[in-house]
Amino acid sequence: MGTQPSKIALLVSSLLSLSAFSATAEEATTSAANVDETITVTGSRFDRTADQQLTVINTIEREEIARLNPKSVADVLETLPGVSISRNGGAGQATSVSIRGSNSNHVLVLIDGVKVGSATLGTVSFNTLSPENIERIEVLKGPRASVWGSDAIGGVIQVFTRQLKGGEWFAGAEYGSNDYIRGSFGTGMDHGNGSTTLTVNHEQSDGYDVYNGAPVENDDDGYKRNTISLKGSQQINQNWQAQWNAQYDKGNTQYDDVYASGSADESDYANYLWNLATQYSNDKFTSKLALSQSRDYNENFRGDDINVPVSEFETKRDQVNWSNQYLAANELTFTGGIDWSNEAVKGDYAQDERDIFGAYVLVQKQWSQLLAEAAVRYDDVENIDSEVSYNASLAYQFNDQWRLAASTGTAFKAPTFNDLYWPGSGNPDLISETAKSYDLTLHYQADDIRAYISVFENSIDNLIAWAPTGEKDDFGWDIWKPANINEAKIQGVEFSASFSVFSLDHQVAYTFLDAENKQTGEELIGRSENEFNYQLSYNWEQIDVLANYHYQGKRYAGYSEYFDATHQVDLSIGYQLDDAWSLRLKANNLFDEEIISAQNYFSPGREFFLSVSYQAF
């Protein structure tokens, strides 16, 4: 660890030089134009432009998602700097998402503002989400517990579902490797001063044998995924608006469990969420009240043996959110609100539900070229110690192009029901995992380029891990239970640039990571020191081409072993037949690289997909 600060300093110097060189490239055109028009909401819960944000937020819009033609949300997220993916196979298999080296359960995931995920495992099933139903994804880097509460240690991922105007509609079909089939449809409907969007999607694949280690099950592991979503709003009068959205995901996944050969090998899931909201706004004040519920349901069984017991896991989360924003004089903005939720789980737990209450306030002030922000939040999790989280940020605009922002903040992750109350091994004395972070980011933005470089550090304490209690069972074996015993320190550099040269659009994303277990001095398992993504795209008349290269450095697998570094190239070619009809050919892992991100679980080899779509706008 002693030599790492100098490594980071060297990387910062090199990448700043690259930023300056790119900024003066004579051949650059306008690929990054209109950056100022980008609106995000995840940082503060209300609309803000890029120059009002004091945290790094990456946004991926529908147009780019369509050109990537991903088979999972993880395929989209992996193109971003600071986001790392670990898969137990292909699109339908278990997937972990890490932001800036944090654990996968240190990422808060929202769909249209509604928190989703399992309160028993503490993670989100990204493999159940359909990219076809997504309009936009915002990924916020760094802690944001001061606004959102528990889980936002590494960052926040917010998924926004598609929304069409009345008379707009789309339909699409796709076929590809491993007998992959997709059909999708969406339509927008007007009703007075409002509209509602309905989208449906079906996907299925026969899959492949995802586990290639010692024999477990020599069979293909396929999946089915069905999604229906509804999203709309109604302008009641000049000040009042009603909003609603709902989503239902149902499907099946076949998998290989290396630790339990002969047991369950299939999983059915049926997840839903709904949200009803009303919003009042005038020139100075906006207030929004939202009522929502989400369910995460999973049933595990063995497909060819009805004698294997069925295991069920279910989380239901009722949520009430009241958010307010007041625009005072002299560039002063106050944001604040109250959150309440009830988490209930199904199973033989000593306690199967809990209430969570949170209240927060955020203040932002602009002085000429200086922008400051401070936020504080109080959270009370039933039967767990309360937590107070904060963020403090400062940015200075040197000129129209250059901007420097610094921030510090704290965050926490409440223990899950499995940690606390799992029959026979839960530990009700656990406390929340806590984190403190620092971030320094230099932004460059012009009509022809946008770039940033960010240096960050995150220290996480009271991490929960299995540990011996000092007691013995009836057979003389040590009794192990979860305990707050681990600490981690994560340092890194994140770089992103988008520019155009010779009519070719370029996107570069690079992350350097130094992630250490402070107790043992070892690297954190599953992290890469270097991760790089490069996109090259070109448009010519009716044709668009997108090539994506992803490099994943070697990852520590534990016990002094490493997963090998991997290289993956994907290619997407689209042809616009006319104003409405289009064709797209997608090749994943074009050079058929062997890619392993979890022990002996292989990602797909070379795959091809052909899609046809119709859009009426």
Rounded CA separation 562/598 (Å): 10
The predicted structure's pLDDT at residue 17? 41
Q: How confident is the model at residue 214 (pLDDT cuts 50, 70, 90)?
A: low
Outline where DSSP puts E strands in 142-265. Answer: 155-161, 169-176, 180-190, 194-208, 221-235, 240-254
**Section 268-291 average pLDDT:** 97
Residue 283 DSSP one-character state: S
Residues 382-415 have pLDDT tens digits of: 999 899 999 999 999 999 999 999 999 999 999 9
Concatenating the DSSP letter of every residue in 317-379 gives EEEEEEEEEEEETTTEEEEEEEEEEEEEEESS-S--EEEEEEEEEEEEEEETTEEEEEEEEEE
Say what the pLDDT of residue 509 is. 97
C-beta atoms surrounding 507 within 10 Å: 21
Check whether 22 has a pLDDT greater than 80. no
Q: What is the pLDDT of residue 348?
A: 86
- Position 271 scores a pLDDT of 96
Q: For residue 490, how many other CB atoms are within 10 A of its CB?
A: 22
Burial 114-132 (b: 16+ CB within 10 A, else e): bbbbbbbbbbbbbbbbbbb
Of 20-34, 214-228, 541-555, the poorest mean pLDDT is in 20-34
Q: What is the mean pLDDT of residues 321-329?
A: 96
Q: Which of 393, 340, 352 is nearest to 370 (CA)?
A: 393
Q: Of 98-112, 116-130, 254-268, where does mean pLDDT reach its minimum?
A: 254-268
- Domain spans of the chain, in order of start: 4-616
Q: Lowest mean pLDDT: which of 1-10, 88-97, 234-243, 596-605? A: 1-10
Query: Tell me, what's the pLDDT at 20?
Result: 38
Extract the tokens encoding 284: 């100075």
pLDDT, residue 37, reads 63
Tell me what pLDDT residue 28 has.
32
Q: What is the mean pLDDT of the chain?
A: 90
Across-strand partners of 289?
278, 322
Q: Mean pLDDT throughout 362-378? A: 96
Residue 198 class from Cβ within 10 Å (0-12 exposed, 13-18 middle, 19+ buried)?
middle
Res 13 pLDDT > 50:
no
Question: Which CATH architecture best describes the domain 4-616?
Answer: Beta Barrel (2.40)
pLDDT at 218 > cutoff 80: no
Q: With a cut of 80, say whether residue 9 has pLDDT above it.
A: no
